[in-house]
Structure 1
Amino acid sequence: MSSEFSRTLSLLRQEKGVSQRLAAGELGISQALLSHYENGIREPGLRFVVRACDYYGVSADFILGRTLSREGNMLTEQDILDAAEPRSSLRGSVLATLQSKLLSGAVGVLFELLGKLGDKAVINAAAAYLGSAVYHLYRHLYRASGANEGYFALDSATCVLGLADADRKLSEARYAAALRDLRTQKAEFPDLSSPAINAAYPGRCQSLTQVLSTADARLAALSKQPEK
């Protein structure tokens, strides 16, 4: 069973605002057994998963961490934006956990596809691009928390000048150049058609599709905004 199940099960109970004891009673199991399920010590049977879905009002895909939609459907760009609203059914730790699952699944598929090319330059450039993005976001969080930025080698004054942005653009340029070189060398690229991706990554293809769909819709909307 998905390793995300236990974490999502616990987060849903906390979101519902009920104790482990109460939830266990309403789910028809002992508190000790529910604790084991929430901590990933034991795996439940299908019957319990169905009961948990009914109890928390979510789909099996949602409770298994396979989708951000409680109904198990692919989300639209507006759904993602709505998830940030205070009254959204996706909020706080549940939203953070599922967004993390979504991105990690998509990135995993991407790197497995890149691995099929067998080219270090492509893989290293992609890793540098994503690593710089994580670094930049973490530095913002670190700064906002009031922590001492002396922990980092890059001083805060230089960091805010856009060095991370420049590093990502350079990594992207190296990534694109390495891919062009492979194309020139007539390297064999993996099949990226939807049927092939679905067949190769049945558990994670939805993560990749969702990330691509959401970003594509957001960028398309930005491209259509009138100039001021």
Structure 2
Amino acid sequence: MNTDFPRIITLLRKERNISQKQAATDLGVSQALLSHYEKGIRECGLDFLVKTADYYNVSCDYLLGRCAEPMGKAAKEAPAASGEDKDKLTEEQKMLLDSQKLIFSMVSEKDEGKLEKAVRSYLSLAVYRIFRVIFSANPKNDRRFFTLSSPAADGFTLSAMELKKARAEAIAVSGEMQSTPITTNTLTGTYPEHASSLFNQVKQCEDEINAVQDKDE
């Protein structure tokens, strides 16, 4: 269990002269549960971690004790994976790449590489699909770039993605992943360089999904 998180959230609350009762109300949890988090009795979930970071205006890395600066490595741009200064990645792009690195690290040594292959195939199809969308934006682009015609390609790609997803699920639930614990603490401890990106990626995606649901209601 991460021992820094309880200490840091308690310190932040007291520094701001916020009562435990008020903080619990603002964060949408009971005072008893917040007390358990602050004492390290219980481990919080990803949603609470991100919500707490937003509440105190600090980074998830800071809450987990991974950096000394409250806002973490908050540079607007980060060096590209190639290390070349001329190529820059935004924080959002880096977050996506880091999340993928974490996932591949998790599955690469599981089930003799079968799960990694299924995950890689699924993500490759997603890249292929969105590239076709970008390519098709310009009607002057030569459609012979692809061997599959546009009307059929999207449907076939979706079907292939569903098959790969089902394959990954079947391998995961029947293999080593079913006994692999995944918590904010295990992710942070095992993948310290990429965990924060995954946490934020999950939060961002769920916010977007909730926004779509709200529009439909």
- TM (norm. structure 2) is 0.55
Distance 1:106 1:126, change over 3 A: same
- Counterpart of 1:102? 95
CA contact (8 A) 2:107 2:113 kept: no
CA contact (8 A) 1:102 1:207 kept: yes
Distance 2:207 2:186 in 1: 23
Distance 2:108 2:99 in 1: 14
Deviates further, 143-152 or 203-212: 143-152
- Counterpart of 1:196? 186
CA contact (8 A) 1:126 1:171 kept: yes
**1:224 offset after TM fit, Å?**
5.2
- Counterpart of 2:130? 137
Letter in 2 for 1:63: A
Q: Once superposed, what is the RMSD of the aligned Cα atoms?
A: 2.7
**1:192 offset after TM fit, Å?**
1.3
1:78-125 residue CA offsets vs partner (Å, 9 max, x unmatched): xxxxxxxxxxxxxxx97x633221111001001111124243321111
- Counterpart of 1:61? 73
**1:151 offset after TM fit, Å?**
1.4
1:158 aligns with 2:152: yes
Paired residues for 1:39-118 under 5 Å: 61-63=73-75, 65=77, 97-118=90-111
- Counterpart of 1:169? 162
CA contact (8 A) 1:133 1:168 kept: yes
Letter in 1 for 2:93: S
- Counterpart of 1:206? 196
The aligned length equals 138
Letter in 1 for 2:128: Y
Distance 2:216 2:152 in 1: 33
**1:215 offset after TM fit, Å?**
1.3
**1:182 offset after TM fit, Å?**
1.1
- Counterpart of 2:51? none
CA contact (8 A) 1:117 1:188 kept: no
Distance 2:103 2:143 in 1: 32
- TM (norm. structure 1) is 0.53
CA contact (8 A) 1:113 1:190 kept: no
1:216 aligns with 2:211: no
Distance 2:160 2:148 in 1: 13
Paired residues for 1:170-189 under 5 Å: 170-182=163-175, 189=179
Identity value in percent = 19
CA contact (8 A) 2:119 2:164 kept: yes
Give the unaligned 5+ runs of structure 1.
Answer: 1-58, 67-92
Deviates further, 150-159 or 201-210: 150-159
Distance 1:188 1:117, change over 3 A: farther
Give the unaligned 5+ runs of structure 2.
Answer: 1-70, 79-86
Letter in 2 for 1:148: D
**1:180 offset after TM fit, Å?**
2.0
